[in-house]
Chain A
Protein backbone atom coordinates (compact mmCIF):
# COMPACT_ATOMS: atom_id res chain seq x y z
CA UNK A 1 0.00 0.00 0.00
CA UNK A 2 2.69 2.44 1.09
CA UNK A 3 4.87 1.44 -1.80
CA UNK A 4 2.29 2.20 -4.49
CA UNK A 5 0.99 5.56 -3.17
CA UNK A 6 2.54 8.79 -4.37
CA UNK A 7 0.92 10.73 -1.57
CA UNK A 8 -0.65 9.32 1.51
CA UNK A 9 -2.52 11.19 4.23
CA UNK A 10 -2.96 9.62 7.62
CA UNK A 11 -5.40 11.15 10.06
CA UNK A 12 -4.62 14.59 8.66
CA UNK A 13 -6.01 17.48 10.64
CA UNK A 14 -5.49 21.20 10.12
CA UNK A 15 -6.21 23.94 12.60
CA UNK A 16 -5.99 27.72 12.45
CA UNK A 17 -5.58 28.82 16.03
CA UNK A 18 -8.41 27.06 17.82
CA UNK A 19 -10.51 26.59 14.68
CA UNK A 20 -10.47 23.28 12.90
CA UNK A 21 -10.33 23.52 9.13
CA UNK A 22 -9.86 19.84 8.37
CA UNK A 23 -10.11 16.68 10.47
CA UNK A 24 -9.49 12.96 10.21
CA UNK A 25 -8.61 12.76 6.54
CA UNK A 26 -7.23 9.42 5.39
CA UNK A 27 -6.57 8.94 1.73
CA UNK A 28 -3.89 8.02 -0.71
CA UNK A 29 -3.14 9.27 -4.18
CA UNK A 30 -1.61 7.00 -6.79
CA UNK A 31 1.24 7.93 -9.10
CA UNK A 32 0.13 9.49 -12.40
CA UNK A 33 -3.47 9.89 -11.50
CA UNK A 34 -5.47 13.03 -11.50
CA UNK A 35 -7.00 13.17 -8.07
CA UNK A 36 -9.95 15.54 -7.86
CA UNK A 37 -11.17 17.28 -4.74
CA UNK A 38 -14.58 18.88 -4.75
CA UNK A 39 -16.55 20.65 -2.05
CA UNK A 40 -18.15 23.97 -1.25
CA UNK A 41 -16.17 27.02 -0.09
CA UNK A 42 -14.46 26.72 3.30
CA UNK A 43 -14.59 22.96 3.28
CA UNK A 44 -10.82 22.76 3.76
CA UNK A 45 -9.64 22.06 0.21
CA UNK A 46 -6.98 24.77 0.07
CA UNK A 47 -5.76 23.90 3.55
CA UNK A 48 -5.38 20.30 2.39
CA UNK A 49 -3.13 21.36 -0.48
CA UNK A 50 -1.06 23.59 1.77
CA UNK A 51 -0.21 20.68 4.03
CA UNK A 52 1.52 18.87 1.17
CA UNK A 53 4.33 21.34 0.51
CA UNK A 54 4.46 22.57 4.12
CA UNK A 55 3.07 25.99 3.36
CA UNK A 56 1.73 25.86 6.92
CA UNK A 57 5.18 26.92 8.04
CA UNK A 58 4.71 30.34 6.53
CA UNK A 59 1.13 30.83 7.65
CA UNK A 60 0.78 32.14 11.16
CA UNK A 61 -1.41 30.03 13.35
CA UNK A 62 -1.71 27.11 10.92
CA UNK A 63 -1.09 23.73 12.54
CA UNK A 64 -1.00 20.40 10.76
CA UNK A 65 -1.61 17.16 12.64
CA UNK A 66 -1.32 13.58 11.45
CA UNK A 67 1.03 12.85 8.61
CA UNK A 68 1.53 13.45 4.91
CA UNK A 69 3.72 10.89 3.19
CA UNK A 70 5.40 11.60 -0.13
CA UNK A 71 6.76 8.41 -1.70
CA UNK A 72 6.42 6.83 1.72
CA UNK A 73 8.38 9.50 3.60
CA UNK A 74 6.77 12.04 5.89
CA UNK A 75 7.14 15.47 4.27
CA UNK A 76 8.11 16.83 7.65
CA UNK A 77 11.10 14.52 7.68
CA UNK A 78 12.59 16.49 4.77
CA UNK A 79 15.35 18.60 6.23
CA UNK A 80 15.40 20.89 3.25
CA UNK A 81 11.90 22.24 2.86
CA UNK A 82 13.00 24.21 -0.24
CA UNK A 83 14.01 21.02 -2.02
CA UNK A 84 10.66 19.50 -1.08
CA UNK A 85 8.75 22.47 -2.44
CA UNK A 86 10.74 22.56 -5.64
CA UNK A 87 9.45 19.04 -6.42
CA UNK A 88 5.87 20.24 -6.12
CA UNK A 89 4.36 22.67 -8.61
CA UNK A 90 1.52 24.85 -7.35
CA UNK A 91 -1.08 26.76 -9.35
CA UNK A 92 -3.10 29.23 -7.30
CA UNK A 93 -6.73 30.27 -7.84
CA UNK A 94 -5.83 33.75 -9.05
CA UNK A 95 -2.95 33.77 -11.50
CA UNK A 96 0.19 35.18 -9.94
CA UNK A 97 2.34 36.41 -12.77
CA UNK A 98 5.44 37.44 -10.87
CA UNK A 99 6.47 41.05 -11.62
CA UNK A 100 9.15 40.07 -14.10
CA UNK A 101 9.34 39.16 -17.76
CA UNK A 102 7.69 36.06 -19.17
CA UNK A 103 11.11 34.53 -19.67
CA UNK A 104 12.19 35.33 -16.10
CA UNK A 105 8.98 33.84 -14.74
CA UNK A 106 9.84 30.53 -16.33
CA UNK A 107 13.57 30.56 -15.63
CA UNK A 108 13.36 31.57 -11.98
CA UNK A 109 13.04 28.05 -10.58
CA UNK A 110 15.87 26.54 -12.66
CA UNK A 111 18.08 29.52 -11.90
CA UNK A 112 17.50 29.03 -8.20
CA UNK A 113 18.68 25.47 -8.68
CA UNK A 114 21.88 26.88 -10.19
CA UNK A 115 21.25 26.31 -13.89
CA UNK A 116 22.95 29.19 -15.68
CA UNK A 117 23.58 27.87 -19.18
CA UNK A 118 21.71 30.17 -21.61
CA UNK A 119 20.98 27.47 -24.17
CA UNK A 120 19.62 25.11 -21.56
CA UNK A 121 17.39 27.84 -20.13
CA UNK A 122 16.17 28.87 -23.59
CA UNK A 123 15.26 25.32 -24.41
CA UNK A 124 13.47 25.00 -21.09
CA UNK A 125 11.49 28.19 -21.60
CA UNK A 126 10.20 26.98 -24.93
CA UNK A 127 9.41 23.48 -23.68
CA UNK A 128 7.51 24.68 -20.60
CA UNK A 129 5.56 27.32 -22.49
CA UNK A 130 4.67 24.82 -25.20
CA UNK A 131 3.43 22.28 -22.69
CA UNK A 132 1.34 24.99 -21.02
CA UNK A 133 -0.16 25.83 -24.44
CA UNK A 134 1.12 29.38 -24.26
CA UNK A 135 4.15 29.35 -26.54
CA UNK A 136 2.45 30.45 -29.76
CA UNK A 137 0.90 33.46 -28.07
CA UNK A 138 4.02 34.79 -26.36
CA UNK A 139 7.00 33.53 -28.35
CA UNK A 140 7.53 36.99 -29.85
CA UNK A 141 7.43 38.86 -26.56
CA UNK A 142 9.24 36.73 -24.02
CA UNK A 143 10.87 39.85 -22.62
CA UNK A 144 7.70 41.75 -21.84
CA UNK A 145 6.18 41.74 -18.39
CA UNK A 146 4.30 38.60 -17.37
CA UNK A 147 1.80 40.71 -15.49
CA UNK A 148 0.72 42.38 -18.76
CA UNK A 149 -0.81 39.16 -20.05
CA UNK A 150 -4.53 38.43 -19.87
CA UNK A 151 -5.85 36.42 -16.91
CA UNK A 152 -6.05 33.21 -18.90
CA UNK A 153 -2.56 33.69 -20.31
CA UNK A 154 -1.16 34.46 -16.87
CA UNK A 155 -2.68 31.27 -15.50
CA UNK A 156 -0.98 29.29 -18.26
CA UNK A 157 2.21 31.17 -17.45
CA UNK A 158 1.96 30.00 -13.84
CA UNK A 159 1.49 26.46 -15.14
CA UNK A 160 4.59 26.86 -17.31
CA UNK A 161 6.40 28.19 -14.26
CA UNK A 162 5.31 25.23 -12.18
CA UNK A 163 6.48 22.89 -14.97
CA UNK A 164 9.87 24.60 -15.03
CA UNK A 165 10.44 23.11 -11.59
CA UNK A 166 10.18 19.68 -13.30
CA UNK A 167 7.88 18.60 -10.48
CA UNK A 168 6.58 15.12 -9.89
CA UNK A 169 3.47 16.50 -8.25
CA UNK A 170 1.28 19.30 -9.53
CA UNK A 171 -1.24 20.93 -7.21
CA UNK A 172 -3.98 23.03 -8.76
CA UNK A 173 -6.32 25.10 -6.60
CA UNK A 174 -9.46 26.18 -8.46
CA UNK A 175 -7.30 27.26 -11.37
CA UNK A 176 -10.21 28.24 -13.60
CA UNK A 177 -11.77 30.85 -11.31
CA UNK A 178 -10.37 33.77 -13.32
CA UNK A 179 -10.02 32.02 -16.64
CA UNK A 180 -12.39 32.09 -19.62
CA UNK A 181 -14.08 28.83 -20.67
CA UNK A 182 -12.03 28.39 -23.84
CA UNK A 183 -8.75 28.71 -21.96
CA UNK A 184 -10.10 26.44 -19.24
CA UNK A 185 -10.66 23.75 -21.86
CA UNK A 186 -7.16 24.22 -23.23
CA UNK A 187 -5.66 23.90 -19.76
CA UNK A 188 -7.75 20.80 -19.13
CA UNK A 189 -6.28 19.24 -22.27
CA UNK A 190 -2.81 20.16 -21.04
CA UNK A 191 -3.50 18.45 -17.71
CA UNK A 192 -4.59 15.24 -19.44
CA UNK A 193 -1.22 15.12 -21.17
CA UNK A 194 0.79 16.07 -18.10
CA UNK A 195 -0.73 13.16 -16.22
CA UNK A 196 1.67 10.85 -18.08
CA UNK A 197 4.58 12.48 -16.31
CA UNK A 198 3.30 13.54 -12.92
CA UNK A 199 0.71 13.14 -10.24
CA UNK A 200 -1.93 15.84 -10.26
CA UNK A 201 -4.12 16.98 -7.37
CA UNK A 202 -6.94 19.05 -8.76
CA UNK A 203 -9.03 21.07 -6.34
CA UNK A 204 -11.98 22.43 -8.22
CA UNK A 205 -15.14 24.36 -7.55
CA UNK A 206 -16.65 22.98 -10.77
CA UNK A 207 -17.93 19.47 -10.20
CA UNK A 208 -18.12 18.88 -13.93
CA UNK A 209 -14.42 19.69 -14.23
CA UNK A 210 -13.64 16.92 -11.75
CA UNK A 211 -15.88 14.61 -13.75
CA UNK A 212 -14.07 15.44 -16.99
CA UNK A 213 -10.55 15.10 -15.62
CA UNK A 214 -10.21 13.19 -12.39
CA UNK A 215 -9.62 9.46 -12.15
CA UNK A 216 -10.73 9.45 -8.56
CA UNK A 217 -12.37 12.20 -6.57
CA UNK A 218 -12.81 13.09 -2.93
CA UNK A 219 -15.70 15.14 -1.61
CA UNK A 220 -14.88 17.52 1.25
CA UNK A 221 -17.53 19.16 3.39
CA UNK A 222 -17.07 21.30 6.52
CA UNK A 223 -13.55 20.06 7.16
CA UNK A 224 -14.34 16.39 6.67
CA UNK A 225 -13.68 14.05 3.81
CA UNK A 226 -17.16 12.65 3.20
CA UNK A 227 -16.34 10.24 0.45
CA UNK A 228 -13.59 9.06 -1.87
CA UNK A 229 -14.18 7.03 -4.99
CA UNK A 230 -13.81 6.51 -8.68
CA UNK A 231 -15.01 9.77 -10.13
CA UNK A 232 -17.77 8.20 -12.17
CA UNK A 233 -19.11 6.41 -9.09
CA UNK A 234 -19.38 9.70 -7.22
CA UNK A 235 -21.57 11.00 -9.99
CA UNK A 236 -23.73 7.95 -10.67
CA UNK A 237 -23.48 5.22 -8.06
CA UNK A 238 -26.55 4.43 -5.96
CA UNK A 239 -24.46 3.53 -2.94
CA UNK A 240 -22.79 6.94 -2.57
CA UNK A 241 -23.34 9.19 0.42
CA UNK A 242 -26.53 11.24 0.13
CA UNK A 243 -24.52 14.42 0.85
CA UNK A 244 -22.27 13.67 -2.10
CA UNK A 245 -25.27 13.06 -4.30
CA UNK A 246 -26.88 16.34 -3.30
CA UNK A 247 -23.66 18.26 -3.88
CA UNK A 248 -22.78 16.85 -7.30
CA UNK A 249 -26.35 17.25 -8.42
CA UNK A 250 -26.18 20.89 -7.47
CA UNK A 251 -28.63 20.86 -4.60
CA UNK A 252 -26.28 22.89 -2.38
CA UNK A 253 -22.84 24.41 -2.51
Chain B
Protein backbone atom coordinates (compact mmCIF):
# COMPACT_ATOMS: atom_id res chain seq x y z
CA UNK B 1 0.00 0.00 0.00
CA UNK B 2 2.70 2.41 1.00
CA UNK B 3 4.87 1.36 -1.91
CA UNK B 4 2.07 1.87 -4.44
CA UNK B 5 1.54 5.38 -3.21
CA UNK B 6 5.19 6.11 -3.67
CA UNK B 7 5.13 5.02 -7.29
CA UNK B 8 2.07 7.11 -7.95
CA UNK B 9 3.59 10.21 -6.54
CA UNK B 10 6.74 9.52 -8.55
CA UNK B 11 4.69 9.33 -11.76
CA UNK B 12 2.94 12.48 -10.73
CA UNK B 13 6.23 14.28 -10.29
CA UNK B 14 7.34 13.13 -13.74
CA UNK B 15 4.19 14.33 -15.45
CA UNK B 16 4.46 17.69 -13.77
CA UNK B 17 7.98 17.78 -15.10
CA UNK B 18 6.87 17.12 -18.66
CA UNK B 19 4.23 19.84 -18.44
CA UNK B 20 6.87 22.16 -17.10
CA UNK B 21 9.19 21.43 -20.03
CA UNK B 22 6.38 21.90 -22.51
CA UNK B 23 5.45 25.16 -20.85
CA UNK B 24 9.05 26.34 -21.09
CA UNK B 25 9.37 25.42 -24.78
CA UNK B 26 6.05 27.00 -25.69
CA UNK B 27 7.03 30.14 -23.83
CA UNK B 28 10.32 30.23 -25.73
CA UNK B 29 8.66 29.87 -29.14
CA UNK B 30 6.11 32.56 -28.43
CA UNK B 31 8.87 34.80 -27.12
CA UNK B 32 11.00 34.33 -30.25
CA UNK B 33 7.97 34.97 -32.46
CA UNK B 34 7.11 38.15 -30.63
CA UNK B 35 10.66 39.41 -30.47
CA UNK B 36 11.36 38.71 -34.14
CA UNK B 37 8.38 40.85 -35.17
CA UNK B 38 9.82 43.72 -33.18
CA UNK B 39 13.31 43.07 -34.55
CA UNK B 40 11.99 43.14 -38.12
CA UNK B 41 10.20 46.42 -37.61
CA UNK B 42 13.22 48.01 -35.99
CA UNK B 43 15.48 46.71 -38.79
CA UNK B 44 13.20 48.24 -41.41
CA UNK B 45 13.33 51.54 -39.57
CA UNK B 46 17.10 51.42 -39.32
CA UNK B 47 17.48 50.46 -42.97
CA UNK B 48 15.26 53.26 -44.26
CA UNK B 49 16.79 55.87 -41.98
CA UNK B 50 20.28 54.68 -42.92
CA UNK B 51 19.56 54.94 -46.64
CA UNK B 52 18.02 58.39 -46.35
CA UNK B 53 20.49 59.78 -43.82
CA UNK B 54 23.13 60.73 -46.37
CA UNK B 55 20.73 63.09 -48.07
CA UNK B 56 19.43 64.55 -44.83
CA UNK B 57 22.98 65.17 -43.57
CA UNK B 58 24.53 66.61 -46.72
CA UNK B 59 22.08 67.78 -49.38
CA UNK B 60 18.86 68.54 -47.56
CA UNK B 61 17.78 72.17 -47.62
CA UNK B 62 14.58 72.06 -45.55
CA UNK B 63 13.26 75.25 -47.14
CA UNK B 64 13.59 73.81 -50.60
CA UNK B 65 12.55 70.28 -49.66
CA UNK B 66 9.25 71.25 -48.08
CA UNK B 67 8.76 74.65 -49.74
CA UNK B 68 9.51 74.16 -53.40
CA UNK B 69 7.17 72.55 -55.87
CA UNK B 70 10.04 71.75 -58.20
CA UNK B 71 11.04 68.09 -58.13
CA UNK B 72 13.82 67.79 -60.69
CA UNK B 73 16.27 65.25 -59.26
CA UNK B 74 17.71 64.25 -62.63
CA UNK B 75 18.69 67.69 -63.84
CA UNK B 76 22.39 67.76 -64.76
CA UNK B 77 23.03 71.42 -64.08
CA UNK B 78 20.69 72.19 -61.21
CA UNK B 79 19.02 69.22 -59.49
CA UNK B 80 16.13 70.39 -57.30
CA UNK B 81 14.48 68.36 -54.58
CA UNK B 82 11.20 70.04 -53.65
CA UNK B 83 8.35 67.81 -52.53
CA UNK B 84 5.67 70.46 -51.98
CA UNK B 85 3.79 69.42 -55.13
CA UNK B 86 4.02 65.78 -54.10
CA UNK B 87 2.68 66.59 -50.63
CA UNK B 88 -0.12 68.58 -52.23
CA UNK B 89 -0.84 65.66 -54.54
CA UNK B 90 -1.00 63.12 -51.73
CA UNK B 91 -3.00 65.43 -49.46
CA UNK B 92 -5.54 66.38 -52.12
CA UNK B 93 -6.08 62.80 -53.25
CA UNK B 94 -6.39 61.57 -49.67
CA UNK B 95 -8.78 64.39 -48.79
CA UNK B 96 -10.97 63.68 -51.78
CA UNK B 97 -10.86 59.97 -51.00
CA UNK B 98 -12.17 60.70 -47.51
CA UNK B 99 -15.01 62.81 -48.89
CA UNK B 100 -16.00 59.78 -50.93
CA UNK B 101 -15.43 57.02 -48.43
CA UNK B 102 -16.45 58.45 -45.04
CA UNK B 103 -20.15 58.88 -45.83
CA UNK B 104 -20.21 55.64 -47.78
CA UNK B 105 -18.46 53.60 -45.12
CA UNK B 106 -20.30 54.97 -42.12
CA UNK B 107 -23.58 54.55 -43.96
CA UNK B 108 -22.73 50.98 -44.87
CA UNK B 109 -21.59 50.22 -41.32
CA UNK B 110 -24.81 51.61 -39.83
CA UNK B 111 -26.86 49.63 -42.32
CA UNK B 112 -25.06 46.38 -41.63
CA UNK B 113 -25.03 46.76 -37.87
CA UNK B 114 -28.45 48.32 -37.24
CA UNK B 115 -30.73 47.32 -40.09
CA UNK B 116 -29.53 44.28 -41.99
CA UNK B 117 -30.28 40.85 -40.57
CA UNK B 118 -29.61 37.24 -41.45
CA UNK B 119 -28.45 36.53 -44.98
CA UNK B 120 -28.31 40.13 -46.13
CA UNK B 121 -26.01 40.98 -43.23
CA UNK B 122 -23.69 38.02 -43.77
CA UNK B 123 -23.70 38.57 -47.53
CA UNK B 124 -22.76 42.21 -47.20
CA UNK B 125 -19.95 41.44 -44.80
CA UNK B 126 -18.49 38.85 -47.17
CA UNK B 127 -18.84 41.26 -50.07
CA UNK B 128 -16.98 43.97 -48.20
CA UNK B 129 -14.20 41.57 -47.29
CA UNK B 130 -13.96 40.63 -50.96
CA UNK B 131 -13.73 44.28 -51.86
CA UNK B 132 -10.86 44.68 -49.43
CA UNK B 133 -9.07 41.82 -51.13
CA UNK B 134 -9.02 43.38 -54.60
CA UNK B 135 -5.35 44.00 -55.45
CA UNK B 136 -4.46 47.64 -55.82
CA UNK B 137 -3.20 47.18 -59.37
CA UNK B 138 -6.73 46.13 -60.33
CA UNK B 139 -8.06 49.34 -58.83
CA UNK B 140 -5.42 51.21 -60.81
CA UNK B 141 -6.57 49.42 -63.91
CA UNK B 142 -10.17 50.47 -63.23
CA UNK B 143 -8.98 54.05 -62.84
CA UNK B 144 -7.04 53.86 -66.04
CA UNK B 145 -9.47 52.15 -68.34
CA UNK B 146 -12.94 52.87 -66.89
CA UNK B 147 -12.79 56.07 -64.86
CA UNK B 148 -10.45 57.84 -67.26
CA UNK B 149 -12.76 57.85 -70.33
CA UNK B 150 -15.77 58.34 -68.08
CA UNK B 151 -14.35 61.53 -66.58
CA UNK B 152 -13.31 62.81 -70.01
CA UNK B 153 -16.83 62.23 -71.27
CA UNK B 154 -18.77 63.50 -68.27
CA UNK B 155 -16.80 66.65 -67.58
CA UNK B 156 -15.43 67.39 -71.01
CA UNK B 157 -11.83 67.64 -69.84
CA UNK B 158 -8.78 66.68 -71.92
CA UNK B 159 -7.54 64.00 -69.56
CA UNK B 160 -9.27 61.80 -67.02
CA UNK B 161 -6.20 60.75 -65.10
CA UNK B 162 -6.29 63.28 -62.33
CA UNK B 163 -6.98 64.08 -58.70
CA UNK B 164 -10.70 63.26 -59.09
CA UNK B 165 -9.97 59.87 -60.59
CA UNK B 166 -7.37 58.91 -57.99
CA UNK B 167 -9.50 60.31 -55.15
CA UNK B 168 -12.52 58.23 -56.11
CA UNK B 169 -10.44 55.10 -56.62
CA UNK B 170 -8.70 55.58 -53.29
CA UNK B 171 -12.02 56.30 -51.61
CA UNK B 172 -13.38 52.99 -52.88
CA UNK B 173 -10.21 51.25 -51.75
CA UNK B 174 -10.33 52.72 -48.24
CA UNK B 175 -14.06 52.06 -47.82
CA UNK B 176 -13.92 48.35 -46.94
CA UNK B 177 -11.48 48.71 -44.05
CA UNK B 178 -13.36 51.73 -42.74
CA UNK B 179 -16.67 49.93 -43.00
CA UNK B 180 -15.35 46.84 -41.24
CA UNK B 181 -13.83 48.76 -38.34
CA UNK B 182 -16.80 51.09 -38.04
CA UNK B 183 -19.13 48.11 -37.98
CA UNK B 184 -17.07 46.53 -35.20
CA UNK B 185 -17.39 49.75 -33.24
CA UNK B 186 -21.17 49.82 -33.67
CA UNK B 187 -21.46 46.15 -32.78
CA UNK B 188 -19.62 46.85 -29.52
CA UNK B 189 -22.40 49.18 -28.33
CA UNK B 190 -24.37 47.13 -25.76
CA UNK B 191 -27.83 46.05 -26.89
CA UNK B 192 -29.11 47.25 -23.52
CA UNK B 193 -28.57 50.84 -24.70
CA UNK B 194 -30.66 50.29 -27.80
CA UNK B 195 -33.35 48.51 -25.82
CA UNK B 196 -33.51 51.23 -23.17
CA UNK B 197 -33.80 53.92 -25.82
CA UNK B 198 -36.43 52.03 -27.78
CA UNK B 199 -38.43 51.45 -24.62
CA UNK B 200 -38.53 55.23 -24.23
CA UNK B 201 -40.23 55.50 -27.58
CA UNK B 202 -37.18 56.32 -29.68
CA UNK B 203 -37.45 55.55 -33.38
CA UNK B 204 -34.72 53.52 -35.07
CA UNK B 205 -33.12 56.68 -36.34
CA UNK B 206 -33.29 58.38 -32.93
CA UNK B 207 -31.67 55.36 -31.33
CA UNK B 208 -28.86 55.50 -33.86
CA UNK B 209 -28.30 59.22 -33.71
CA UNK B 210 -28.68 59.83 -29.99
CA UNK B 211 -27.32 56.62 -28.51
CA UNK B 212 -25.46 54.32 -30.88
CA UNK B 213 -23.31 56.78 -32.81
CA UNK B 214 -22.27 58.83 -29.76
CA UNK B 215 -21.26 55.77 -27.78
CA UNK B 216 -19.30 54.35 -30.72
CA UNK B 217 -17.61 57.61 -31.57
CA UNK B 218 -14.12 56.54 -30.54
CA UNK B 219 -14.21 53.46 -32.72
CA UNK B 220 -15.70 55.44 -35.59
CA UNK B 221 -12.94 58.03 -35.30
CA UNK B 222 -10.34 55.29 -35.41
CA UNK B 223 -12.04 53.76 -38.46
CA UNK B 224 -11.78 57.06 -40.30
CA UNK B 225 -8.14 57.53 -39.31
CA UNK B 226 -7.19 54.04 -40.43
CA UNK B 227 -8.98 54.75 -43.72
CA UNK B 228 -6.85 57.88 -44.06
CA UNK B 229 -3.76 55.79 -43.44
CA UNK B 230 -4.86 53.30 -46.06
CA UNK B 231 -5.45 55.99 -48.68
CA UNK B 232 -2.31 57.86 -47.75
CA UNK B 233 0.01 54.89 -48.14
CA UNK B 234 -1.51 53.49 -51.32
CA UNK B 235 0.89 53.51 -54.26
CA UNK B 236 0.11 51.49 -57.34
CA UNK B 237 -3.49 52.61 -57.90
CA UNK B 238 -2.52 56.23 -57.35
CA UNK B 239 0.36 55.95 -59.76
CA UNK B 240 -1.97 54.66 -62.44
CA UNK B 241 -4.98 56.93 -61.85
CA UNK B 242 -3.53 60.28 -60.85
CA UNK B 243 -1.79 61.21 -64.07
CA UNK B 244 1.52 61.34 -62.17
CA UNK B 245 2.24 64.91 -63.18
CA UNK B 246 4.06 67.30 -60.83
CA UNK B 247 1.54 69.97 -60.17
CA UNK B 248 0.17 72.21 -57.44
CA UNK B 249 -3.45 71.36 -58.15
CA UNK B 250 -6.04 74.10 -58.45
CA UNK B 251 -8.96 71.94 -59.52
CA UNK B 252 -9.94 68.29 -59.15
CA UNK B 253 -9.31 67.87 -62.86
CA UNK B 254 -5.60 68.60 -62.52
CA UNK B 255 -3.22 65.69 -62.77
CA UNK B 256 -1.19 65.28 -59.60
CA UNK B 257 1.61 63.15 -58.29
CA UNK B 258 1.71 61.41 -54.93
CA UNK B 259 4.69 60.89 -52.62
CA UNK B 260 4.33 57.12 -52.70
CA UNK B 261 4.00 56.95 -56.48
CA UNK B 262 7.14 59.03 -56.89
CA UNK B 263 9.20 56.54 -54.93
CA UNK B 264 7.72 53.59 -56.81
CA UNK B 265 8.27 55.13 -60.21
CA UNK B 266 11.79 56.44 -59.68
CA UNK B 267 13.61 54.19 -57.27
CA UNK B 268 14.34 51.53 -59.88
CA UNK B 269 16.12 54.01 -62.10
CA UNK B 270 18.45 55.54 -59.57
CA UNK B 271 21.92 54.44 -58.68
CA UNK B 272 22.21 53.10 -55.17
CA UNK B 273 23.79 55.74 -52.94
CA UNK B 274 23.20 58.61 -55.37
CA UNK B 275 21.64 61.81 -54.10
CA UNK B 276 18.43 61.05 -55.97
CA UNK B 277 18.28 57.58 -54.39
CA UNK B 278 18.82 59.00 -50.94
CA UNK B 279 16.27 61.77 -51.52
CA UNK B 280 13.67 59.13 -52.34
CA UNK B 281 14.48 57.38 -49.07
CA UNK B 282 14.07 60.68 -47.28
CA UNK B 283 10.57 60.86 -48.73
CA UNK B 284 10.17 57.33 -47.39
CA UNK B 285 11.16 58.47 -43.91
CA UNK B 286 8.66 61.31 -44.15
CA UNK B 287 5.89 58.86 -45.18
CA UNK B 288 6.84 56.50 -42.40
CA UNK B 289 6.67 59.22 -39.77
CA UNK B 290 3.27 60.45 -40.96
CA UNK B 291 1.86 56.93 -41.10
CA UNK B 292 3.17 56.36 -37.61
CA UNK B 293 1.43 59.51 -36.40
CA UNK B 294 -1.86 58.49 -38.00
CA UNK B 295 -1.72 55.07 -36.40
CA UNK B 296 -0.78 56.44 -33.00
CA UNK B 297 -3.64 58.90 -33.24
CA UNK B 298 -6.04 56.10 -34.16
CA UNK B 299 -4.78 54.15 -31.19
CA UNK B 300 -5.33 57.10 -28.88
CA UNK B 301 -8.79 57.74 -30.23
CA UNK B 302 -9.86 54.13 -29.90
CA UNK B 303 -8.74 54.05 -26.29
CA UNK B 304 -10.78 57.12 -25.61
CA UNK B 305 -7.76 59.30 -24.97
CA UNK B 306 -9.87 61.97 -26.58
CA UNK B 307 -12.83 61.45 -24.31
CA UNK B 308 -13.61 64.46 -22.26
CA UNK B 309 -13.92 63.45 -18.64
CA UNK B 310 -16.50 66.10 -18.05
CA UNK B 311 -18.69 65.89 -21.08
Of A98, A109, A165, chain B has the most CB atoms within 10 Å of the CB of A98
A92 contacts B203, C-beta separation under 8 Å: no
CB-CB under 8 A for A100 and B201, given A92-B195, A112-B206, A158-B196: no
Question: Which of A53, A100, A101, A145 lies in contact with B199, CB distance below 8 A?
Answer: A53
A86 and B201 within 8 A (CB): yes
CB distance from B222 to the nearest CB of A (A): 17
Smallest CB-CB separation from A109: which chain B residue? B200
Known: A96-B192, A99-B193, A144-B310. A90 touches B206 (CB 8 A): no
Q: Is the interface of A mostly helix, strand, loop or mixed?
A: mixed
Within 8 A of B (CB), among A164-217: 165
How far, in angstroms, from A62 to B196 measured CA to CA in the complex? 18
Whether a CB of chain A sits under 8 angstroms from the CB of B122 is: no
Please name all residues of chain B whose beta carbon is closer than 8 Å to the beta carbon of A144 when the two chains form the complex: 309-311
A99 x B199 contact (CB < 8 A): no
Q: Which residue of A lies closest to B217 (CB)?
A: A99
B33 / chain A contacts, CB cutoff of 8 Å: none
- Complex: A55 Cα to B194 Cα, angstroms: 12
Contact A82 B202 (CB under 8 A): yes
Q: Is the CB of B200 within 8 A of A96?
A: no
Specify the chain B residue showing the minimal Cβ separation from A49. B199
User: Is B136 part of the binding interface, using a Cβ–Cβ cutoff of 8 Å?
Assistant: no
Count of interface residues, chain B, beta-carbon cutoff 8 Å = 20
Stretch at the interface among B175-183, B208-216, B227-235: B208-216
How many angstroms between the C-alpha atoms of A83 and B198 in the bound complex? 11
With an 8 A cutoff between CB atoms, is B197 at the interface?
yes
Contact B196 A98 (CB under 8 A): yes
Interface hub of A60, A86, A99, A108 (most chain B Cβ within 10 A): A99
Distance in Å from the Cβ of A169 to the closest Cβ of chain B?
Answer: 12
- B188 smallest CB distance to A (angstroms): 12
Residue of B nearest to A158 (CB): B196
Please give, as numbers and ranges, the residues of chain B lying within 8 Å of A112 by CB-CB distance: 200-202, 206, 210
Question: Which residue of chain B lies nearest to A86 when distances are taken between CB atoms in the complex?
Answer: B201
A82 touches B196 (CB 8 A): no
Among residues of A, the one whose C-beta sits closest to the C-beta of B201 is: A86
Residue in A closest to B198 when the chains form the complex, CB atoms: A58
Evaluate contact between A143 and B210: CB separation under 8 angstroms: no
- Our pick among A86, A94, A143, A165 for the contact of B311 (Cβ within 8 Å) is A143
* Contact status A108-B210, CB under 8 Å: yes
Whether A161 and B200, one on each chain, are in contact in the complex, defined by CB atoms closer than 8 angstroms, is yes
Inter-subunit contact B311/A85 (CB<8 Å): no
Residues on B with beta carbons closer than 8 Å to the beta carbon of A84: 201
Are B200 and A108 in touch, CB under 8 angstroms?
yes
Given contacts A100-B214, A108-B210, A144-B310, contact A86 B195 (CB under 8 A): no
Given A98-B193, A99-B193: A145 and B311 within 8 A (CB)?
yes
Mask: chain B, 292-311; 1 = CB below 8 Å from A; 0 = not:
00000000000000000111
For B200, list chain A residues within 8 Å (CB): 85-86, 89-90, 108-109, 112, 161-162, 165
**Is B214 in contact with A99, judged by CB distance below 8 angstroms?**
yes
Are A99 and B215 also in contact (CB < 8 A) when A82-B203, A92-B192, A144-B310 are? yes
**Nearest-CB distance from A156 to chain B (Å)?**
15
Expressed in whole angstroms, the Cα–Cα distance for A87 and B198 within the complex equals 12
Given contacts A100-B311, A144-B310, contact A165 B201 (CB under 8 A): yes
Task: State the Cβ distance, A168 to closest chain B Cβ, in Å.
Answer: 13
Give A17 Cβ to nearest chain B Cβ, in Å.
15
Q: Is the beta-carbon distance between B201 and A109 smaller than 8 angstroms?
A: yes
Among candidates B196, B214, B215, B309, residue contacting A92 with C-beta atoms closer than 8 Å: B196
CA distance A165 to B199 in the complex (A): 11
A101 and B214 alpha carbons, distance in the complex (Å): 12
Complex CA distance for A100 and B196, rounded to whole angstroms = 13
Q: B201–A55 contact, CB under 8 A?
A: no
Please tell me if the beta carbons of A55 and B198 are within 8 angstroms of each other in the complex: yes
Please report the C-alpha to C-alpha distance between residue A145 and residue B202 in the assembled complex, in whole angstroms. Answer: 21
Pick the most buried of B196, B206, B210: most chain A CB atoms within 10 A of its CB.
B196
Q: What 10 A-B pairs are tightest by C-beta distance, nearest first?
A: A86-B201, A85-B201, A99-B215, A90-B199, A96-B196, A82-B201, A96-B192, A109-B200, A101-B311, A82-B203
Question: Which residues on A are within 8 Å of B, measured CB to CB?
Answer: 53, 55, 58, 60, 82-90, 92, 94, 96, 98-101, 108-109, 112, 143-145, 158, 161-162, 165
Ordered by A's residue number, 30 sampled pairs between the chains whose C-beta atoms are within 8 Å are A53-B199, A55-B198, A55-B199, A58-B195, A60-B117, A82-B201, A82-B202, A85-B200, A85-B201, A87-B201, A88-B199, A89-B200, A98-B193, A98-B197, A98-B211, A99-B193, A99-B215, A108-B197, A108-B210, A112-B201, A112-B202, A112-B210, A143-B310, A144-B309, A144-B311, A145-B311, A158-B196, A162-B200, A165-B200, A165-B201
What residues make up the interface of B, taking CB atoms closer than 8 Å to A?
117, 192-193, 195-203, 206, 210-211, 214-215, 309-311
**Beyond known contacts A86-B200, A112-B202, A144-B311: 4 more, CB 8 A cutoff:** A82-B201, A90-B196, A90-B200, A96-B195
